[in-house]
């Protein structure tokens, strides 16, 4: 009787149970110190804002020469200020008691919880709501939500101070709005909300929000609803105007520093040496030219041998960017292999096939997803966007929850659900070590192994999908032989340990002791919770 009541409550309150499990993961595994120059840049501005009520960063303990710019005689974080000021605003009332250091810090831990943590919880509830609108069963909803969190590059950036989960939440609002318009009725309020969310996403980071705006506007035009398309655009423009207006007040410029490459080129001179900005020594910024580099070098009085070195580096980078095929290969082998995992490919194939099915109710919404995904990836190639030291292509993270939600909804048969579950469990094991150090491009051993492993799984998925009618019998035998028993759990743990050993290779030894406990928690606690909830939901659906 008690078991039946528990299953009934679980099926009715699935988002809350999932949120509780996610809260447990976030509380136990969120980081307590900065992981690199990206979050260090934001932390430098937060520290100065709450202590001195200024926004320049040169005297901050978090100052670095990568994600900083030099403007009007001071150094600043190059990040658009809205997300950083939100965090500073939360801490400002407690400024007399707050002590922020680059070492282990309760404050940094709380910042992660109040930014990425809250965004992840909001995303879970919104995804569950959308799947309920679409009519997904509870067990499928559970595995879609679990797969989007555990089986993609989303997880590592859920546990550190980054804006990508917030962007993902805001961009998912647009998908939720389109599904709401399809299942209920499109209203002006929904279009305004979508535009505001995409505008805020663009103000936080000017990329994915613009992609979803373009495809969302096209969606409304195809549905012959010009009023909603105009409402979407006006709401977007209004929020972006406010965000860039804040940038104008703080930095005397409407443009975010991302669009002003000269500000990244500076030199710090001491009696013993000249310390150049990271982008001066590795000039990858879009908009840089040979003339700009020469002029800036002369303004700063750099020695001619240093100027020649910088120009040589620039020629190398320019050659790589003009070689589009080589650039795509470079992006794939360093970052994209982790983002476009077999689970994402599996979901993308499902989305594409749904677009081609005339009887599918959400055909137009799925076409919107596919167009957004294609447009976003082509834009990263066109603009030469490289995510720097990070796990996967973090610029594309806002796409992943949408892809997994839409692709997962198509898995109606038990066999295809099982394939999806197996895929995200395999990938979760490879993502566990990255969650311990997300601001790190994996070493060659990890990349090469997982790149070929990913390519093999991708090929297997495509072949199995194309030839499943011919080999249906063998396909079912293999799937039926995979069961969540003791042997399966043991093999999974060994696979996760192997992935950790690969990822930890060549990392400085100082990082390893703090990475092992987090990896063990994810390795042991999460699968146990997954199995328990899957068993309860299986009985509930039955």
pLDDT in tens for each of the 542 residues of the chain? 455 554 545 555 666 777 777 888 888 889 888 888 888 899 999 999 988 889 999 888 888 777 889 888 889 999 999 999 999 998 888 888 877 887 768 889 999 999 999 999 999 999 999 999 998 888 888 889 888 988 898 999 999 999 999 999 999 999 999 999 888 776 889 999 999 999 999 999 988 999 999 999 999 999 888 999 999 999 999 999 999 999 999 998 888 888 888 888 888 777 667 777 777 777 777 778 888 888 888 888 888 888 888 888 888 777 666 677 878 888 888 898 888 888 898 899 899 989 988 888 899 999 999 999 999 999 888 887 788 888 989 999 999 999 999 999 988 777 788 888 888 888 999 999 999 889 988 889 999 998 888 778 777 776 766 666 555 555 555 555 566 667 777 888 899 999 999 998 877 776 778 788 888 888 887 877 777 777 776 665 55
Considering the domain architecture, whether residues 307 and 360 belong to the same structural domain is answered as no
Where is 75: in which H helix or E strand?
Answer: strand 74-77
| pLDDT of amino acid 320 | 63
Question: Residues 6 or more apart from 266 whose CB is under 8 A from it?
Answer: 69, 70, 75, 276, 277, 280, 300
Considering the domain architecture, whether residues 332 and 364 belong to the same structural domain is answered as yes
The DSSP bridge partners found for residue 267 are: 276
| φ, ψ of residue 268 in degrees (nearest 5) | -110, 115
Three-state DSSP string of 102-162:
CCCCHHHHHHHHHHHHHHHHHHHHHHHHHHHHHCCCHHHHHHHHHHHHHCCCCHHHHCCCC
Structural domain contains residue 255: no
Considering the domain architecture, whether residues 74 and 24 belong to the same structural domain is answered as no
Q: Which of 84, 104, 124 is the last residue in one of the domains? A: 104
Structural domain contains residue 334: yes
CB 208 within 8 A of CB 395: yes
CA distance 76 to 78: 6
| Total of domains in the chain | 3
Among candidate residues 394, 71, 79, 338, the one with its CA nearest the CA of residue 208: 394
Considering the domain architecture, whether residues 359 and 410 belong to the same structural domain is answered as yes
CA distance 450 to 390: 16
Quick one: tokens of 54? 């200024």
Structural domain contains residue 249: no
CA distance 36 to 67: 10
| pLDDT of amino acid 1 | 43
Backbone φ/ψ region at 104: left (φ over 0), alpha (ψ -120 to 50), beta: beta
CA distance 38 to 46: 13
Among candidate residues 174, 14, 40, the one with its CA nearest the CA of residue 105: 40
Structural domain contains residue 253: no
Q: Which of 72, 104, 136 is the last residue in one of the domains? A: 104
| pLDDT of amino acid 260 | 85
SS3 assignment, position 537: helix
Considering the domain architecture, whether residues 42 and 22 belong to the same structural domain is answered as no
Structural domain contains residue 251: no
Quick one: tokens of 310? 């910088």
Note down the domain range covering 127.
2-30+109-236+326-541
Full-model pTM? 0.90
Backbone φ/ψ region at 72: left (φ over 0), alpha (ψ -120 to 50), beta: left
Structural domain contains residue 362: yes
Considering the domain architecture, whether residues 65 and 164 belong to the same structural domain is answered as no
CB 169 within 8 A of CB 194: no
Q: Which of 104, 136, 156 is the last residue in one of the domains? A: 104
Considering the domain architecture, whether residues 211 and 282 belong to the same structural domain is answered as no
Considering the domain architecture, whether residues 523 and 450 belong to the same structural domain is answered as yes
The DSSP bridge partners found for residue 348 are: none
| φ, ψ of residue 363 in degrees (nearest 5) | -55, -45
Question: Residues 6 or more apart from 174 whose CB is under 8 A from it?
Answer: 194, 197, 198, 212, 216
Considering the domain architecture, whether residues 95 and 204 belong to the same structural domain is answered as no
Structural domain contains residue 394: yes
Considering the domain architecture, whether residues 210 and 359 belong to the same structural domain is answered as yes
Per-residue burial over 185-203, b = 16 or more CB atoms within 10 Å of its CB, e = otherwise: ebeeebbbbbbbbbbbbbb
For the chain, what is the radius of gyration of the CA atoms?
24
Considering the domain architecture, whether residues 98 and 132 belong to the same structural domain is answered as no
Considering the domain architecture, whether residues 331 and 317 belong to the same structural domain is answered as no
Structural domain contains residue 254: no
- Long-range contact set of residues 83-86: C-beta below 8 Å, sequence gap at least 24: 83/42, 83/115, 83/163, 83/166, 83/204, 84/42, 84/45, 84/46, 85/49, 85/246, 86/115
SS3 assignment, position 357: coil
């Amino acid at each position: 009787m008690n078991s039946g009541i528990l299953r009934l409550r679980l099926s009715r309150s699935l988002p809350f149970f999932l949120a509780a499990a996610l809260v447990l993961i976030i509380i136990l595994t969120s980081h307590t110190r900065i992981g690199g120059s990206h979050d260090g840049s934001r932390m430098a501005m937060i520290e100065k804002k709450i202590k001195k009520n200024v926004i320049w960063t040169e005297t901050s303990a978090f100052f670095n020469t990568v994600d900083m710019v030099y403007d009007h005689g001071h150094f600043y974080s190059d990040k658009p200020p809205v997300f950083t000021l939100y965090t500073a605003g939360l801490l400002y009332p407690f400024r007399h008691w707050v002590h922020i250091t680059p070492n282990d810090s309760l404050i940094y831990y709380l910042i992660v919880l109040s930014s990425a943590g809250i965004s992840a919880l909001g995303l879970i509830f919104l995804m569950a709501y959308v799947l309920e609108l679409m009519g997904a069963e509870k067990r499928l909803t559970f595995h879609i939500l679990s797969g989007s969190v555990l089986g993609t590059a989303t997880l590592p950036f859920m546990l550190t101070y980054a804006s990508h989960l917030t962007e993902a939440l805001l961009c998912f609002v647009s998908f939720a709005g389109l599904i709401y318009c399809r299942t209920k009725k499109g209203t002006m309020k929904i279009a305004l909300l979508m535009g505001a969310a995409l505008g805020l996403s663009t103000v936080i980071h000017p990329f994915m929000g613009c992609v979803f705006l373009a495809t969302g506007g096209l969606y409304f035009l195809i549905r012959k609803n010009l009023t909603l398309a105009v409402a979407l655009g006006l709401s977007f423009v209004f929020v972006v105007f406010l965000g860039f207006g804040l940038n104008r007040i703080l930095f005397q410029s409407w443009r975010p520093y991302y669009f002003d490459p000269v500000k990244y080129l500076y030199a710090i001179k001491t009696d013993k040496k000249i310390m150049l900005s990271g982008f001066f020594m590795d000039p990858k910024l879009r908009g840089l030219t040979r003339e700009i580099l020469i002029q800036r070098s002369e303004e700063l009085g750099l020695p001619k041998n240093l100027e020649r070195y910088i120009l040589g580096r620039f020629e190398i980078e320019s050659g790589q960017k003009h070689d589009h095929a080589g650039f795509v290969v470079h992006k794939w082998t360093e970052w994209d292999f982790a983002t476009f995992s077999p689970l994402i490919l599996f979901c993308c194939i499902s989305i594409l096939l749904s677009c081609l099915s005339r009887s599918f109710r959400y055909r137009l919404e799925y076409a919107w997803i596919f167009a957004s995904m294609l447009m976003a990836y082509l834009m990263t190639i066109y603009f030469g966007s490289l995510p720097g030291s990070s796990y996967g292509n973090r610029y594309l993270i806002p796409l992943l929850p949408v892809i997994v939600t839409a692709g997962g909804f198509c898995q109606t048969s038990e066999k295809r659900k099982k394939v999806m579950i197996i895929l995200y469990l395999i990938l979760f094991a490879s993502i566990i070590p990255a969650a311990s150090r997300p601001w790190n491009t994996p070493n060659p051993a990890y990349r090469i192994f997982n790149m070929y492993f990913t390519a093999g799984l991708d090929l297997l998925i495509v072949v199995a999908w194309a030839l499943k009618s011919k080999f249906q019998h063998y396909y079912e035998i293999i799937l039926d032989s995979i069961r969540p028993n003791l042997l399966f759990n043991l093999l999974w743990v060994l696979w996760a340990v192997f992935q950790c050993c690969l990822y930890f290779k060549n990392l400085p030894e100082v990082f390893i002791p703090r990475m092992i406990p987090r990896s063990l928690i994810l390795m042991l606690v999460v699968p146990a919770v997954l199995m328990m909830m899957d068993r309860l939901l299986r009985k509930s659906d039955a």
